[in-house]
Amino acid sequence: MAKKNKYYVVWNGHSPGIYTSWAECQKNITGVSNVRYKGFPTLEAAEAAFEDDADNYWGNKEAKKQLSFDDYDNNPDIVSNSLSVDAACSGNPGVMEYQGVYTVSGTQVFVKKFPLGTNNIGEFLAIVHGLAYLKQHKLNIPIYTDSKIALSWIKAKKCRSKLPLNHQTKDLFDVIKRAEDWLKTNTYSQELLKWDTKNWGEIPADFGRK
């Protein structure tokens, strides 16, 4: 039986990207310190992973489990009185949605869906939506996200997606512009914290579609 084709994501190598053979992947990771790479069965899965945080894939051989709400509340490393946000995308780009929930109770406080977007855009918008929600309700609690990329975009006050602007994405880009404007015209005291997926399981706002 012929070997099934695989796609290889290199997050940290000589030339990060998606490769269609192990030989190409190997050339890009050989001799690199702190290398990050992983194979995927489909291009869609590889593209979604490439836009995600490598820590969610590299070095975690065990299946990720969802901790119980009691685990969150009793874990001294987790700020239980907090908001957690996450995004999901069916294809990348594809149908995208994001949501925010209270970390311990799992109570959903907002959710949005768009016909075309990317996971990183959803993660970015979820954080901004969370900040605006907390400011509106005068809540000074931290926000958890599992996306390093989205955190960097928040710091820059700019969505750096390469998704093209067209008739399918116009409404999404209008929302992105409003989010960027909000960041430029508002201050906030809430902490933005990185969720430790490897040790804590999936973030409570995860859509559970992996």
Summarised one tens digit per residue, pLDDT across range 54-95 is 877 765 544 344 555 666 666 788 998 999 999 999 887 899
Summarised one tens digit per residue, pLDDT across range 146-177 is 999 999 999 999 999 999 999 999 999 999 99
CA separation for the pair 196, 104 (Å, rounded): 15
CA separation for the pair 69, 102 (Å, rounded): 10
Summarised one tens digit per residue, pLDDT across range 192-205 is 999 998 888 889 99
What H or E segment, with its residue span, contains residue 30? none
> Is residue 2 very low, low, confident or very high in pLDDT (cuts 50, 70, 90)?
very low
Cβ-contact 143, 194 below 8 angstroms: no
Q: Is the pTM of this model over 0.75?
A: no
> Is residue 50 very low, low, confident or very high in pLDDT (cuts 50, 70, 90)?
confident
First to last CA, the chain: 28
How distant, in Å, are the alpha carbons of 47, 89, 179 from that of 207? 18, 10, 22
